[in-house]
Amino acid sequence: MVSAEPVLRVVELVKHYAAGGLLGRRQPPVRAVDGVSFEIGPGETLGLVGESGCGKSTVGRTVIRLQEPTAGKAFFEGTDLFALDRRSLRRLRRRMQIIFQDPYSSLNPRMRIGDAVAEGIEIHRLASRAETRRRVALLLEEVGLDPAYAGRYPHEFSGGQRQRVGIARALAVEPSFIVCDEPVSALDVSVQAQVLNLLTELQRRRGLSYLFIAHDLAVVRQVAHRVAVMYLGRIVEEGPTEALLASPSHPYTVALLSAAPEPDPAGRKRRIVLPGDPPSPAAPPPGCPFHPRCFHPAKSDRCRTELPLLRPVGATRAACHYAETTPRTLAAG
């Protein structure tokens, strides 16, 4: 799938947070990201899906060094990102941007949106004042906003419009890669569709690469060429989107698909309902992180003691000892 040098190559990324201990008691660290590797090629979108506590947002922030990693490497356009000094990092920052989930808190309420979009251009000294104004107008148009709105403040816009401003702001510095951290989760359905179409169109036109983080598989399907499913800090399955959705091999992927709301009243009659809740990364179970909730009939002691690694199974790679025989639906009876 990846022909030329990948835009982003992540190798065994690890991010642990020190857990606070009361009265100096030492706690084991919270293993938010525990060994994640992937590549994203030019013009490609990798979808990163998972539920609360899986580490997907941490991955997003760490691969562009908004947070420092604990271990691992990230190569951005061939450059070792984590080895860069502050100045070189700053220059490279232009090329990698991020769009956030909450269109209400990601824009400075005291800044006119035109100035918010212009800020990156000014910081990186990419254009003169007059040229910057022109570029801002073009960018606003490109994301579907009237350039005359440049003088307005965020509170004057709806959630979907603010999200477009966030996208314009990210595009202003001409990045090659954008981390989209749940960009449509807070939007209404009809607005969500507009923003997804916009992101797809921008990718096509500008050759952008995206790391698209979401919890909604149907949304991810619209924009991602490949998908990685995360659970408790690790990738448990990854592969081309259609293949992964059509023939998932990891039980967690099967459960996610089964639980996904689907506007079809005939529906999947027997939904797989996982017991328990997504676990906290502060106390991961030994062996396979999914085993306490796993419904695979072949689940064994091996699952409780031995961590399964990602390996090719059919058209995808899955981290399960019994991935070849993962059931897609509940057994009858």
Partner 1 sequence: MTARSSPEEPVLRVRNLRVAFPAPGGAVHPVDGVSFDLHRGRTLALVGESGCGKSLTSLSLLRLLPPPGRIEPGSEIRLDGVDVLALEGEALRAIRGRRIGMIFQDPMTSLNPVFRVGDQIAEGILAHFKIPKREARERAIALLREVGFPDPARRADAFPHQLSGGMRQRVMIAIALAAEPDILVADEPTTALDVTVQAQILEVLDRLRASRGMAVLLITHDLGIVAGRADRVAVMYAGQIVEEAPTAELFARPSHPYTQGLFASIPRLDGPVRRLNPIPGTVPSPHAWPSGCRFRPRCPRAFEKSVLEPPLFTVGPDHRMRCWLGEHAGEQ
Looking at the Cβ atoms of 20 and 78, the one nearer to partner 1 is 20
Distance CA 218, CA 195 (A): 15
Closest CB 127 distance from partner 1, rounded Å: 32
Give min distance, CB of 49 to partner 1, in A. 10
We find the least distance from the C-beta atom of residue 252 to partner 1, in angstroms, to be 9
Give dist(CA 324, CA 312) in Å, integer: 10
The three state secondary structure string of the chain is: CCCCCCCEEEEEEEEEECCCCHHHCCCCCEEEEEEEEEEECCCCEEEEECCCCCCHHHHHHHHCCCCCCCEEEEEECCEEHHHCCHHHHHHHHCCEEEECCCCCCCCCCCCCHHHHHHHHHHHCCCCCHHHHHHHHHHHHHHCCCCHHHHHCCHHHCCHHHHHHHHHHHHHCCCCCEEEEECCCCCCCHHHHHHHHHHHHHHHHHHCCEEEEEECCHHHHHHHCCEEEEEECCEEEEEEEHHHHHHCCCCHHHHHHHHHCCCCCCCCCCCCCCCCCCCCCCCCCCCCCCCHHHCCCCCCCHHHHHCCCCCEEECCEEECCCCHHHCCCCCCCC
How near is the Cβ of 245 to partner 1 at its closest, in Å? Answer: 6
- 131 or 201: whose CB is closer to partner 1? 201
CB of 176 vs partner 1, minimal distance in Å: 24
Residue 269: CB minimum distance to partner 1, A: 8
- Of 174 and 262, nearer to partner 1 (C-beta) is 262
Tell me which residues touch partner 1 (CB under 8 A): 51-52, 158-160, 188-194, 196-197, 200, 215-219, 221-222, 242, 245, 255-265, 267, 271, 273-274, 277-278
Q: At its nearest, how many Å lie between partner 1 and the CB of residue 4?
A: 25
Nearer Cβ to partner 1 (82/104): 104
- Given the complex with partner 1, which of 42 and 159 has the nearer CB atom? 159
Closer residue to partner 1 in complex, CB, 82/153: 153
CA–CA separation, 10 and 109 (whole Å)? 35
Residue closer to partner 1, measured from CB, 67 or 194 = 194
Rounded to a whole number of angstroms, the minimum distance from the CB of residue 152 to partner 1 is 15
Partnered with residue 45 across adjacent β-strands are: 210
Closer to partner 1 at the Cβ: 35 or 144?
A: 144
